[in-house]
Amino acid sequence: MTTPVQPPPLPSAFSAALAELFPASDLLTEPADCWPYGYDNSKRHASPQAVVFAREHEQVETLLRLCNEYAVPLTPRGRGTGTTGATVPTHGGVVLSLERMDRILRVDPDNRLLVAQPGVTNRAIQQAAGEHGFFWPPDPTSAAVCTLGGNLAYNSAGPRAVKYGTPRENTLGLRAVTGAGSSIRTGVFTTKGVVGYDLTRLLIGSEGTLAVITEATLKLTPLAEDKRTLRALYADMRAAAHAVAAVMAQPVVPCALEFIDGSAIEMVRSHSKAELPEGAGAMLMIEVDGARAGLDEAAEAVAAAARVEGCIDLMLARDQAEVDALWTTRKALSPALRTIAPKKINEDVVVPVSRIPELIDGLGTLSATHGITIVNFGHAGNGNIHVNLLVDPDDPRQAEAAEACLAEVFELVLRLDGSLSGEHGIGLVKRDYVGLEIGDAALALMHGIKREFDPNGILNPDKALPLRG
């Protein structure tokens, strides 16, 4: 794991150029002012030597060229809601905050697209699109505060990805500045286009290591007329996984298919007022959306598929009050986890849906072996499970046990044909494990791509890919 290095002072000529490029209101250089911009939600920290707030594409372009000229590291960030340390400036230098590039530039309902700067929040995008009867499918939990740029940098999706896909499937094109300081446009304004390599999908999920995104053209989807919400409880995880497979095999695709395991259910029972029967080994929250005509029949088809052997209770909400009541359990989980383990380790892994039971069984074994409580929940429809290790990292023995356990969690996931991250990204937290999933030849190609975009290695250094020996 990379530890922060003590950077040399910024060159005086570089500092003078920063002061010319950014007004005083958009430039921080006092250590106390810069300090908060060294964090993200991973709780890791390294203080930058300066923080700048860009408002226009041209500022970003000039800044990248300056950083190359003076060999100053640059770390782009939005609101810092990421959990993997991808925006922690481990080499000091400059943090480029994009939160003030927060304009929606164009809403084009006729062509089902929206153009926005990276600092716009996910919620603001949904509100702007909603005024015209559309939405942008990605909906991470932090949608109220997380930025578009962060959603794209991590390819963050949320529950609706099971039906509507991730940012990669819902972004038409980008405007960006490469690590070398070159401005580029990628993608199209149409739903078809195969000219050249797909740089849009390459930049999405690259965690700010290749280029800084300054504008995005988003593909919008019409809002559904209505939705139906179901909650199903199961005797054990295998029954729930069987239900997930059955639901995903029938023609009606749910817009959300969420799961929490038995440990999480008991935790909620102990730390909230949610009413749940004792002995439930797993729970599914299912939503179905679409046209009102036929929606009840669609919901019943999903419910029928979910009523597999081992289903001990299934409820279909009849009104908004019942919808809110059914979601109480899921919404109570995060507060309960924060109460029990405020410094929990949260990893989002992905396995094929049919192998979720093996994952949960394996995690149970690792929990017993290492003496660590593991609680699991997530997006069951696409096998994206959030694995929570409830440890105290300030306790050296627990921290050591957690490190060993985490390595075995990743090994288990890969044995099950899974992936180490579904939407939280790699950053610093998972960087040293990437080689377990990606072979040497592919890694060499990726390092070559990084050099092509960022020949001087100044853009978000040491993130996403293992360090070269």
Under the banding of pLDDT at 50, 70 and 90, the label for residue 324 is confident
**Residue partners of 256: CB distance under 8 A and separation at least 6:** 159, 160, 162, 163, 285, 286, 287, 379, 381
Above 80 in pLDDT, residue 453? Answer: yes
Q: Tell me the average pLDDT across 247-256.
A: 95
Above 90 in pLDDT, residue 195? Answer: yes
The H or E element containing residue 265 is: helix 262-271
Above 90 in pLDDT, residue 331? Answer: no
Top-confidence residue, 211 or 397: 211
Top-confidence residue, 277 or 308: 308
Q: What is the mean pLDDT of the chain?
A: 93
pLDDT tens per residue across span 67-94: 999 999 999 999 999 989 999 999 999 9
Give the pLDDT confidence score for residue 214 in this predicted structure: 98
Give the pLDDT confidence score for residue 270 in this predicted structure: 72
CA proximity to 62, closest of 103, 18, 94, 106: 18
Under the banding of pLDDT at 50, 70 and 90, the label for residue 273 is low
Above 80 in pLDDT, residue 276? Answer: no
Helices and strands in the chain, H and E counts: 15, 18
Give the pLDDT confidence score for residue 342 in this predicted structure: 62
Look-up: residue for tokens 């290749």? 210
Above 70 in pLDDT, residue 22? Answer: yes
Reduce the DSSP state of residue 344 to 3 states and report it: coil
Q: Tell me the average pLDDT across 330-355.
A: 79
pLDDT tens per residue across span 126-145: 999 999 999 999 999 889 99
Give the pLDDT confidence score for residue 381 in this predicted structure: 92
Residue 169 CB coordination number (10 Å): 15
- Hey, what domains does the chain have and what are their CATH numbers? 12-100 (3.30.43.10), 104-222 (3.30.465.10), 224-331 (3.30.70.2190), 341-437 (3.30.70.2740)
Q: Is the Cα torsion angle 253, 256, 261, 262 positive or negative in sign?
A: negative
Give the whole-angstrom CA distance, residue 18 versus residue 326.
Answer: 52
Look-up: residue for tokens 């036929």? 294
Q: Specify burial of residue 278 (Cβ count, 10 A radius: 0-12, 13-18, 19+).
A: exposed
Q: Tell me the average pLDDT across 180-202.
A: 96
pTM of the model: 0.93
Q: Tell me the average pLDDT across 163-178.
A: 98
pLDDT tens per residue across span 210-246: 999 999 999 999 999 999 999 999 999 889 989 999 9
